[in-house]
C-alpha cells in the first residue's frame, strides 16, 4: 500500500504489521495526551510534585534524554569536524534520536512550568545570570539545528526525492552541513554545561553545590563530559535495538566500534574527573557547609549506595568494558556496557535533581517523600512512545542507514 | 532578549551572552539563506547541479 | 546583583526572640490574612499548603523532665548577599531591592518553573498548585486585603515583608511632608500581631532602631549563616541547644555564648545555659 514511499532496494514489513507495531506506542501517546490535558487544564496539582520536590520526574527525564541525545551533536562533531568518515553510517540515526530527545524535552518543559502561556518570558525577559535561561536558549536553537540536520534525510524519501527542487535543496543543505554541525556543537556545549551549572550554582544546597572556574561550577564541565560519554552509547543502543527488531545488520561494525571506543575513552576520563570532583566536594564544599558526607543520607531511601553505584557499577565498569577491545567486540558485552553507561548518566541526573531536593538543608527540617502520579508517568512514557513512533516511521520511509542495502542485499 | 525588552542593560554581560546567541542564530540563518539561493540558482539553471 | 545592599539606604529586617515565642501561630494567621494567602480545603497537606510564615517546632531531644521545646517562626530570610533564588530566576521575576533590602516577587512575571524553590534552602517559596481559593460564605472574603493581589495558579509566591505596608507608610509620610519613616511606622503583620512581642521589625541600617541593636546582641544568630546567604532575619535565644539547631555543625564547631553583655537586662536570664 505504502510501497512507493519505501526506500528502494530494501525490505520492509507489510503496512498491517507496521500499524500493529505502532499500536502500543500510540497507546502511550494517548496516555501522555490525557495526562498533558489534565496538567494543563487542571494544573500541576495533578502531579505529586510539591514545594519540597519542585523538580521531579519530568526534570529527571528531561535532563536524562537531553544527555542521551548528545550523541547527535557529538557524532556530528566527529564526522564533520574531526573527519571520522566511517561514522557517517550512523549519523542519521544519531540526528533522529537527538531530534526526538530535544523536541520531547521542550514539550515536557512546556507542561512542567506553571504558566505555559508565559513560556516566552524566558526569552523576552531573560535573566542572563540564570543557567536555565542559557539552557532554554540553547536547546531551542539547537532543536532548530537538529531540524535542519534532519531535513536532508527526510528529502531523501523516495517520493520527495522525485521532486527536483527538494532534491537539490537537500543536496545543497547537505553540502554545507558542517557549518550547521559546528553551530550545533557550540550550542550543545553550552546547554549541556548549563544543565550541570543549574545545580552547581545552587550554593545554598550543599548536596549540589560545587566550586568552579569563573562563573561555571565544575558540574558545568562534568555534565558536558558525561553527556558526550553516554550519548554515543545511547545511539549504539538504539541502532542495536533497531537491528534486533528488524533482524538485519544496519550499521557496519567499524562505525559502532569507533563510537564505542571513543565513548570508552571519554567515560574513563570522565570517571577520573568525577571521582576528583566528588572527593573535592566531600572534603571541601561539604565540611564548609558544616556537614559530613554521611549526614546527607541520614533519612530517606537514598543512600551512599547510589553514589557508589553511579561511579563504580555504572561508571568505572562500563569504561573498562568499552576500553577492552575483546569486550567491545562481543555484541552482548557491548550492549551491557552501553546500558550501564546510559543508566549511570540517568543516576547522575537523578542524584542531582531529586536527591538534592530531598535532603533538607535546615537541621530541624524533615525528610519528605515523593512518588510520581500516573499523570507524571503518562507524560514521561509518552516520550518513549513518541520516540519509538518517530524512529520507526523514519526507519520505514527514509534511508536512515546508508549501508542497509549493501549489508542486506535483497535476494529474490 | 532585545534592547526593547525591559531588562535589557548595555553592559558586557549582556553583550557577550546575546552576542554569542545572535552570532549562532545568524550563522544558522545565513547558512539557510545560502542554501535557498544555491537551490534557486540550480533550479533555474544558473548553476551546475551538484551530486555526491 | 553581586553587591550586597549595604550601599542602600534602608535594610529592613527582623529579629525574632525565640525565648519569647510561645508557638501560638498568630504570626502565621496574621501573615496569611494580611497577604491574602490562599487556603485549601485540606490545609494539612503541608507539602503544598502555602505558609509564608511557617512555624517549625524543635526539641532538645532529651527525656522528660529535661525536655524543652522551642519554635522557629520562618518567614522569607530576604537574603542580602546574592540571594540564591534571585540569580536563578529565568524571567527576572524576583529581585533584591537595594533600597529596602526586600526580595520581591512579581507574580505576573513568574512562569512557574520553580527553579527558585529548588535553590532556596529555607523552603520559604511556595508554588500555587491550585487556583486561589477562599471559602465562600464563611466571611473569609471580607478579610481580604485590597492592597495585595491574589496569586494565580502556577506561580511562586513568598513573604514580601508586607511590602504594601511599606508603601502605605511611605504615602502617609509623604502626605505629612516627611521624607523618612519613623521607627514603627512600617512593621510587618507578623511583628504587629505577635502577642509575646517576640518579633521586632525595622531598619537594620538605622542604628537607632531596636532591630539594629538586637541584631548585634551576642545571642543573635541567623539560619544557615555559614552558607553565605546573609539573611536579614535574625533570631535570638539564650539557650545553646536552640542556637545550635540553626546551623549545620561539625563536631566541636559550636562555641557557646558565655559572656554577659550590655543587653543582659533585656529578657534573657543567665547566658550560655542549656535549660530553663
Mean pLDDT of A231-238: 96
In chain B, the percentage of residues whose pLDDT exceeds 90 is: 50
What average pLDDT does chain A have?
A: 94
Instruction: Average the pLDDT over each of A342-351, C27-36, C62-71 and give the range with the smallest value.
Output: C62-71
Under 8 Å between Cβ of C125 and A51: yes
- Summarize pLDDT for C186-223 with one digit per residue, the tens: 999 999 999 999 999 999 999 999 999 999 988 899 99
Query: What's the average model confidence in pLDDT over A15-37?
Result: 96
Q: How far is B48 from chain A (nearest CA, A)?
A: 11
Distances from the Cα of C143 to the Cα of A265, B33, C134, C153, angstroms: 66, 61, 10, 21
- Dihedral-angle region of residue C263 (phi above 0 means left; psi in -120 to 50 means alpha; beta otherwise): alpha
How far is C43 from C68, CA to CA, in rounded Å? 27
The three-class DSSP label of residue C45 is: coil
Parallel/antiparallel/unpaired status of strands C199-203 and C103-105? unpaired
3-class secondary structure, A217:
strand
State yes or no: pLDDT of C259 exceeds 70.
Answer: no
Q: Which of C118, C224, C245 to mutate to test the interface with A (most CBs of A within 10 A)?
A: C118
**Model pLDDT, residue C7:** 57
Q: How far is residue A261's CA from residue A263's CA, in Å, rounded to a whole number?
A: 5
Split at pLDDT 50, 70, 90, the class of C275 is: very low
User: What pLDDT sits at residue C44?
Assistant: 86
Q: Please report, for chain B, how many H helices and E strands are present, in that order.
A: 1, 0
CB contact under 8 A, A179 and B52: no
What's the mean per-residue pLDDT of chain C? Answer: 88
529555607: which residue's cell?
C122
What are the C-alpha distances in Å from A248 to residues A11, A243, A245, A410, C20? 10, 5, 8, 12, 77
The answer to whether the Cβ–Cβ distance between A172 and B50 falls below 8 Å is yes
Does residue A69 carry a pLDDT above 60? yes
Q: Tell me which DSSP letter residue A355 carries.
A: I
pLDDT digit string, tens, across residues A304-355: 999 999 999 999 999 999 999 999 999 999 999 999 999 999 999 999 999 9
Amino acid B52: pLDDT: 54
- The answer to whether the CB atoms of B24 and A129 lie below 8 A apart is no
Query: How many interchain CB pairs under 8 A, A with C?
Result: 162
Q: Catalogue all structural domains in chain C, each as residue range(s) with its CATH number.
A: 5-244 (3.30.70.20)
Q: Give chain C positions within 8 Å (CB) of A205.
A: 84, 118-119, 121
Ramachandran angles phi, psi of A210, nearest 5° = -140, 155
Burial tier of B28 (Cβ tally within 10 Å: 0-12, 13-18, 19+) = buried
Any idea what the Cα angle at residue A324 is, between residues A320 and A329, rounded to 5°?
125
DSSP H or E run through A255: helix A253-280
Of A125, A148, A165, which is closest to B5 when you measure between CB atoms?
Answer: A125
Inter-chain CB proximity B25 and A175 less than 8 Å? no
Contact list, B42 vs chain A (CB under 8 Å)? 168, 172
**A292 at the C interface (CB within 8 A)?**
yes
Average pLDDT (A170-175) is: 91
CA atoms of A383 and A385, how far apart (whole Å)? 5
Q: Which long-range contacts (CB under 8 A, 24 or more apart) does B34-39 make?
A: B34/A176, B35/A169, B35/A172, B35/A173, B35/A176, B36/A169, B38/A172, B38/A175, B39/A165, B39/A168, B39/A169, B39/A172
Q: What is the pLDDT of residues B23-48, one digit of tens each?
A: 999 999 999 999 999 999 998 888 77
CA distance A282 to A287: 7
pLDDT of residue C137: 81
Q: Is the pLDDT of residue A303 over 90?
A: no
Long-range contact set of residues A11-14: C-beta below 8 Å, sequence gap at least 24: A11/A248, A11/A408, A11/A410, A12/A396
At A65, the pLDDT band (50, 70, 90 cuts) reads: very high
Query: Helix and strand tally (H, E) in chain A?
Result: 19, 2
**Span A242-256, mean pLDDT?**
94
Least confident of A76-80, A308-312, C138-142: C138-142
Assembly ipTM: 0.92
With b for 16 or more beta-carbon neighbours within 10 A and e for fewer, the A225-264 pattern comes to bbbbbbbbbbbbbbbbebbeebeeebbbeebbbbbbebbb
Burial C211-223 (b: 16+ CB within 10 A, else e): bbbbbebbbbbbb
User: Is residue C146 classed as helix, strand or coil in its secondary structure?
Assistant: coil
Domain ranges of chain B: 20-45
Residue C1, pLDDT above cutoff 80: no
pLDDT of residue A134: 94
CB pair distance less than 8 Å for B39 and A141: no
Nearest to C264 by CA among C75, C3, C19: C19
Residues of A (326-365) whose Cβ lies below 8 Å from C: 356-357, 361-365
- For residue B51, the model assigns a pLDDT of 58
Q: Take residue A317 and report the three cell numbers written for it.
A: 565498569
* In contact, A288 and C226? CB cutoff 8 Å: yes
C121 exposed, middle or buried (CB, 10 Å; 0-12, 13-18, 19+)?
A: buried
Query: What is d(CA A220, CA A199) in angstroms, rounded to the nearest whole number?
Result: 9
Beta carbons of A143 and B21 less than 8 angstroms apart = no
Mean pLDDT, residues C79-88 taken together: 93
End-to-end CA distance of chain B: 40
Residue C65 preceded by cis peptide, ω within 30: yes
Minimal CA separation from A367 to chain C, in Å: 11
Chains that touch A (3 or more CB pairs under 8 A): B, C
A102 has a pLDDT exceeding 50? yes
Half-sphere exposure of A74 (CA within 13 A, CB side): 27
Is the pLDDT at B50 greater than 80? The verdict is no
Contact call for C92 and A51, based on CB within 8 A: no
Mean pLDDT of C31-53: 90
Q: Looking at the complex, does the CB of residue A406 fall below 8 Å from at least one CB of chain C?
A: no
CB contact under 8 A, C129 and A118: no
C-beta separation of A314 from A342 below 8 A? no
Instruction: Judge whether A171 and A139 are in contact, CB under 8 Å.
Output: no
Give residue C273's pLDDT band: very low, low, confident or very high (50, 70, 90): very low
Amino acid at each position: 500500500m505504502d510501497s512507493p514511499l519505501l526506500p528502494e532496494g530494501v525490505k520492509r514489513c507489510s503496512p498491517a504489521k507496521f500499524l500493529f507495531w505502532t499500536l502500543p506506542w500510540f497507546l502511550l501517546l494517548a496516555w501522555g495526551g490525557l495526562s498533558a490535558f489534565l496538567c494543563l487544564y487542571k494544573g500541576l496539582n495533578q502531579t505529586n510534585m510539591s514545594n519540597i520536590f519542585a523538580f521531579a520526574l519530568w526534570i529527571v527525564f528531561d535532563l536524562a534524554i537531553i544527555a542521551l541525545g548528545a550523541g547527535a551533536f557529538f557524532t556530528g562533531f566527529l564526522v564533520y569536524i574531526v573527519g571520522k568518515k566511517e561514522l557517517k553510517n550512523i549519523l542519521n540515526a544519531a540526528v533522529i534520536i537527538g531530534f526526538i530527545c530535544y523536541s520531547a524535552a521542550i514539550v515536557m518543559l512546556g507542561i512542567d512550568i506553571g504558566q505555559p502561556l508565559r513560556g516566552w518570558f524566558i526569552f523576552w525577559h531573560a535573566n542572563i545570570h540564570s543557567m536555565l535561561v542559557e539552557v532554554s536558549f540553547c536547546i531551542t536553537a539547537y532543536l532548530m539545528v537538529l531540524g535542519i540536520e534532519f531535513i536532508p534525510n527526510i528529502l531523501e524519501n523516495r517520493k520527495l526525492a522525485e521532486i527536483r527542487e527538494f532534491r537539490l535543496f537537500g543536496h545543497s543543505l547537505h553540502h554545507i552541513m558542517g557549518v550547521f554541525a559546528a553551530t550545533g556543537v557550540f550550542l550543545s556545549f553550552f546547554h549541556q554545561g548549563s544543565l550541570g551549572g543549574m545545580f552547581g550554582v545552587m550554593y545554598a544546597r550543599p548536596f549540589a553545590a560545587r566550586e568552579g572556574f569563573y562563573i561555571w561550577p565544575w558540574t558545568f564541565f562534568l555534565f558536558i563530559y558525561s553527556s558526550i560519554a553516554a550519548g554515543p552509547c545511547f545511539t549504539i543502543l538504539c541502532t542495536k535495538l533497531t537491528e534486533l527488531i528488524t533482524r538485519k545488520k544496519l550499521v557496519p561494525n567499524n562505525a559502532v566500534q569507533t563510537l564505542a571506543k571513543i565513548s570508552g575513552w571519554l567515560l574513563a576520563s570522565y570517571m577520573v574527573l568525577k571521582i576528583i570532583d566528588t572527593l573535592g566536594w566531600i572534603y571541601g564544599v561539604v565540611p564548609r557547609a558544616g556537614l559530613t558526607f554521611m549526614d546527607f543520607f541520614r533519612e530517606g531511601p537514598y543512600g551512599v549506595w547510589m553514589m557508589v553505584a553511579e561511579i563504580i557499577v555504572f561508571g568505572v565498569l562500563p569504561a573498562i568494558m568499552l576500553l577492552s577491545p575483546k569486550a567491545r567486540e562481543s555484541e552482548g558485552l557491548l550492549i551491557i556496557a552501553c546500558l550501564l553507561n546510559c543508566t549511570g548518566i540517568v543516576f547522575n541526573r537523578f542524584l542531582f535533581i531529586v536527591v538534592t531536593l530531598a535532603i533538607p538543608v535546615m537541621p530541624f527540617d524533615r525528610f519528605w517523600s515523593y512518588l510520581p502520579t500516573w499523570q507524571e508517568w503518562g507524560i514521561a512514557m509518552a516520550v518513549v512512545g513518541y520516540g519509538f513512533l518517530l524512529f520507526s516511521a523514519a526507519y520505514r520511509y527514509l534511508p536512515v542507514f546508508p549501508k542497509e542495502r549493501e549489508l542486506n542485499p535483497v535476494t529474490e | 532578549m532585545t534592547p526593547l525588552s525591559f531588562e535589557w542593560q548595555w553592559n558586557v554581560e549582556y553583550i557577550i551572552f546575546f552576542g554569542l546567541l545572535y552570532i549562532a542564530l545568524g550563522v544558522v540563518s545565513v547558512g539557510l539563506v545560502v542554501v535557498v539561493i544555491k537551490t534557486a540558482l540550480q533550479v533555474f539553471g544558473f548553476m551546475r547541479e551538484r551530486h555526491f | 546583583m553581586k553587591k550586597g545592599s549595604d550601599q542602600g539606604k534602608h535594610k529592613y529586617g527582623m529579629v525574632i526572640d525565640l525565648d519569647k515565642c510561645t508557638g501560638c501561630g498568630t504570626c502565621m494567621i496574621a501573615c496569611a490574612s494580611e497577604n491574602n494567602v490562599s487556603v485549601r480545603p485540606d490545609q494539612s497537606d503541608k507539602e503544598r499548603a502555602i505558609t509564608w510564615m511557617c512555624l517549625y517546632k524543635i526539641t532538645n531531644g532529651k527525656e522528660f523532665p529535661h525536655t524543652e521545646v522551642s519554635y522557629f517562626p520562618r518567614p522569607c530570610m530576604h537574603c542580602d548577599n546574592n540571594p540564591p533564588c534571585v540569580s536563578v530566576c529565568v524571567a527576572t521575576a524576583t529581585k533584591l531591592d537595594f533600597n529596602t533590602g526586600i526580595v520581591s516577587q512579581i507574580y505576573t512575571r513568574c512562569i512557574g518553573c520553580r527553579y527558585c524553590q529548588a535553590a532556596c534552602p529555607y523552603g520559604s517559596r511556595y508554588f500555587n498548585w491550585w487556583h486561589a481559593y477562599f471559602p465562600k460564605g464563611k466571611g473569609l472574603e471580607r478579610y481580604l486585603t485590597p492592597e495585595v493581589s491574589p496569586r494565580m495558579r502556577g506561580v511562586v509566591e513568598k513573604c514580601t515583608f508586607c511590602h504594601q505596608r511599606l508603601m502605605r507608610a511611605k504615602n502617609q509620610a509623604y502626605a505629612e511632608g516627611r521624607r523618612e519613616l519613623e521607627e514603627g511606622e512600617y512593621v510587618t503583620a507578623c511583628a504587629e500581631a505577635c502577642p509575646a512581642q517576640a518579633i521586632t521589625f525595622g531598619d537594620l541600617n538605622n542604628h537607632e532602631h531596636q532591630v539594629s541593636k538586637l541584631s548585634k546582641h551576642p545571642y543573635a544568630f541567623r539560619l544557615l549563616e555559614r552558607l553565605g546567604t546573609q539573611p536579614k532575619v535574625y533570631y535570638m535565644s539564650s539557650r545553646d541547644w536552640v542556637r545550635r539547631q540553626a546551623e549545620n555543625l561539625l563536631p566541636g564547631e559550636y562555641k557557646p555564648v558565655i559572656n554577659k553583655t550590655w543587653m543582659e537586662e533585656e529578657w534573657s536570664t543567665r547566658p550560655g545555659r542549656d535549660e530553663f
